[in-house]
Amino acid sequence: MRIFRHFEGVPAGLRGAVVAVGNFDGVHRGHRALIAEAKVQAEARKAPLAVLSFEPHPQEYFRPSPESFRLTPLRAKARLLADLGVDALFALNFDGEMASRSPQDFVQTVLLDGLSLSGVVVGHDFEFGKGRAGNLAALSYMGEMEGFTLTAFDTVTASGAEKISSTLIRQLLKAAKPEEAARLLGHWWAVEARVEHGDARGRTMGFPTANMHLGHCLAPAFGVYAVRVSILDNDRVVSRHDGVANFGIRPMYQVNVPLMETHLFDFDGDLYGKYLSVELVSWIRAEAKFPSLEALIAQIGADAAKAREILAKTP
């Protein structure tokens, strides 16, 4: 999959694409269904399949906050989309210029002059352009005038009438329910970052850890998790490992910034500088302060045993 941060000068081989448009934060089951519809149309037309999204997320532009809500930073999103067979990702810069484009200008300049698309697939509640002035009726009319098709994809639900949404998935991760989040995502939610040097306390206790700061990513519930870890090299999975991780501020040592500390089972190697994807499989317990180092070590051992038990039963 090719990634573009611009819409000008698109290669001839990618023009005429069927384009799925949206934020696709999390690339959850609803997003996947929408992209699958776009893929069906692209294959029928023998056209490329593309996704158009924005970086940063428009909400980050209009309502900046020190606490990130992003489920999938660009690097993770790109890998998930590539796995779905997307040919090109247009991750367009969302800035003042983009925010000020009228609906007509967005369609003419970005979709037509830039991408020269043949069809667009969007969610049923899609709005676009300055002040969200553009809606499906306007996009449908412009499509009829300019010769591209529009498909408005219905909301995807899970069990019953439960709507699959990025907002609900964020709430589940904040509530220490990674299994429920994964059910809506269609994949395990992961923290991705590069391993940093730490204080080596874990190694002295017999449980060496890979230390990672979340960066521009949602902070899940503090606590201990059973995890699966992928070691990545240029977004290629080098190896996968079961493990146990603690995310939080370590009450016994009071770190200032929440930290993900991951112990990989049966692993002996140097992880410093490596890029890891740590999938949260199950929440084991909340963070706690222990009366002694010995009590902490004993609890870490129990957490590791519990994580092994959980992961042995989890496909």
Spell out the domain ranges in the chain: 2-153, 169-312
CA distances from 25 to 22, 142, 278 (A): 9, 27, 18
Residue length, the chain?
Answer: 315
CATH architecture of 169-312: Beta Barrel (2.40)
Rounded to whole angstroms, how far apart are CA atoms 188 and 182?
Answer: 5
What string of DSSP letters covers 147-194? T-EEEEEPPPBSSTTPBP-HHHHHHHHHTT-HHHHHHHHSS--EEEEE
pLDDT tens digits, 153-204: 987 777 666 789 999 999 999 999 999 999 999 999 999 999 998 666 666 6
* Dihedral pair phi/psi, residue 299, rounded to 5°: -70, -40
Nearest of 243, 244, 245, 248 to residue 288 by alpha carbon: 248
> pTM here?
0.91
Provide the pairing of β-strand 190-194 with 149-153.
Answer: unpaired
pLDDT tens digits, 207-217: 899 999 988 89
pLDDT, position 52: 98
pLDDT tens digits, 249-264: 876 666 678 899 999 9
Fold entry, domain 2-153: Rossmann fold (3.40.50)
Strands of the sheet containing 190-194, edge to edge, are 190-194, 275-285, 223-233, 236-248, 259-264, 210-212
